[in-house]
Amino acid sequence: MLSTLLSAIAAPPADAFAEAQRHLDGLTKPPGSLGRLEEIAARLAVLRGGTPRVERPVIFTFAADHGVVAEGVSAYPQVVTAQMVENFLRGGAAVNVLARQARARVVVADFGVANPIPGSPELVSCPMAPGTANMARGPAMTREHAVRAIETGARLAERALDAGADLLATGEMGIGNTTAASAITAAITGAAPERVTGRGTGVDDTAFARKVDVVRRALAVNAPDPGDGVDVLAGVGGFEIAGLVGVILVGAARRVPVVLDGFIAGAAALAAVTLAPDARHALFASHRSAEPGHAVILERLGLTPYLDLEMRLGEGTGAALFIHLARAAALIWSEMATFKSAGVSTSEGASVAPSEATPSDRIAPAKPALERRR
C-alpha cells in the first residue's frame, strides 16, 4: 500500500497559482488586501483543482506511548496518555472544545497506548504494541511496525475522505512524544539536539538537560538515515507519529488540504516529505508552537504558520483553530462578487471580469521540495 500511495503524489500544475491569483484579483477589493487569507484561498483552490470548500473537516488525534519515558524525560507519568484518551472520548479535552466550534469531527485512535483504555464505540483501536521501545537504548520499533503504522493512519484517512471529508487535520497524544519529535527533527534536518529540544510538558532544568542527552544518545545508538522517513521513525519515532505520516500522505495523494498542528505533527510532516517531497504542497502550518524545534521544522518545510499564539498543547488544537481561517478563505473565493458582476469600477476606472485582471506574483508557486541532507 505504501509504495502505491507514494506514487500517487505529485506537484500541482506550474501555472495554477497564477490562475488562482487572477481570480482573487478580480474580486471586489484592492489586490492583495485580504493578505494571507488570499494565500490560503489560492492554495486551497490549486490543491483542489477548482472551487475550494471546507465543510466536513476531520481532526485525527492519534495516541501512543513511548518507552523513552523510562529515561525521565517527562513531567507526567505514562498513565496520563490513557487518561487523556478517555478525556478525548468524553469530549472534555481542549481539542474537543475547539473542534465543536469549528464543526469538525475528531477521530481518536489508539496506536499503542501502554495502559488499558475502557471500551468505547468512539475509539479506533489499532495498537501496534503497548508503546515503543526505549529509543535511547535501541530502535523505537521495527521497520515493519513503522510501515504498518503509516499504512494504518493512511487507511483511517482514506475512510474519512470516502465518507466526504474535505480537510484533514493532525493531532496527537503521547507522554514522551516531544522527545521523539526532537530526535526526528534532529535526524532529518541535521540540527543539534539542544536546538530542537524543548521542555515539553514543562520539565525542570535537570530533566531538560537529561532530555537533550537522551536525544543525542538515541541518534548515536540508532544512526537513522535522514533521507528515509521510515528508517527515522523506526529508530527514534512513535506509533502515533507514524500514523500521522499516513494521514499526510493520503491527503497529498487525494489533493485534500492537510493541516499540521504543532511540533509533533510537524515531525510527522518531515518524515512524510522525505518519502514524497511533493507532499509538501498539501501542507498548511496552522500555528507556530512554543517548542523550539518547530521553527526548525517550518523552515525546512518552507512553511510560514498562520497563527502564533504560543501554544504547545498538541492534540490538534492549533489545527482546529486554523479550520476557521480555511473556511473563511474558501468562502471568500466562492461568495465574493467580481468587479464585473457587482458593477464596481477597478483602479483603472473600468469594470473587469476575473480573467481580465492583472496577474500577481504575490502568491508564488510552492518552494522546492525538501532537500535531503546527510
Any idea which residues carry the catalytic annotation? 315
What is the CB-side half-sphere exposure of residue 122 using CA atoms within 13 A? 15
Residue 359 predicted with pLDDT over 60: no
Residue 350: the pLDDT is: 53
**Which tens digit of pLDDT belongs to each residue from 208-223?**
899 999 999 999 999 9
**pLDDT at position 284 over 50:** yes
Domains of the chain, first to last: 2-52+328-356 (1.10.1610.10), 57-327 (3.40.50.10210)
What pLDDT, on the 0 to 100 scale, is given for residue 371?
Answer: 34
Least trusted range by pLDDT, from 7-21, 247-261, 304-318, 354-368? 354-368
Under 8 Å between Cβ of 118 and 130: no
Could you give the residue ranges of the DSSP H alpha helices within 66-225?
A: 79-90, 94-102, 143-162, 177-189, 193-196, 205-222
| CA atoms of 201 and 357, how far apart (whole Å) | 50
pLDDT of residue 207: 84
The residue type found at 362 is: R
Nearby residues of 223 by Cβ (< 8 Å), 6 or more positions away: 235
Condensed to tens digits (0 to 9), the pLDDT of residues 124-171 reads: 999 999 999 999 999 999 999 999 999 999 999 999 999 999 999 999
Give residue 51's pLDDT band: very low, low, confident or very high (50, 70, 90).
very high
Q: Report the chain's mean pLDDT, rounded to a whole number.
A: 92
Cα-flanking dihedrals φ and ψ of residue 105, to 5°?
-90, 140
Residue 348 pLDDT more than 70? no
What is the model's pLDDT at position 349? 57
Query: Can you give the length of the chain in residues?
Result: 374
CA 185/CA 183 separation, integer angstroms: 5
Q: Which of 139, 147, 175 is nearest to 66 (CA)?
A: 175
Q: What is the pLDDT of residue 346?
A: 75
Q: In what order do the strands lie in the sheet with 105-112?
A: 123-125, 105-112, 57-64, 167-173, 258-260, 283-285
Q: How far is it, in rounded angstroms, from Cα 115 to Cα 137?
A: 22
Q: Is the confidence at residue 347, as pLDDT, over 90? A: no
| Strand extents, DSSP E, 236-346 | 258-260, 283-285
Say which range, 2-16, 281-295, 345-359, has the weakest mean pLDDT: 345-359
Q: What's the confidence (pLDDT) of residue 20? A: 95
* Residues 91, 275: Cα–Cα separation, whole Å: 34
For residue range 73-110, list pLDDT tens digits in order: 998 999 999 999 999 999 999 999 999 999 999 999 99
Portion of the chain with pLDDT greater than 70, in percent = 93
Q: How many CB atoms lie within 10 A of CB 118?
A: 9
Strand partners, 313: none
Residue 267 has pLDDT above 90, yes or no: yes
What is the Cα 209 distance to its own chain's centre? 28
Question: What angle, rounded to 10 degrees, do the helices at 263-275 and 177-189 form?
Answer: 40
Percent over 90 (pLDDT), the chain = 86
Residues 6+ apart with CB under 8 A from 369: 11, 273, 277, 278, 280
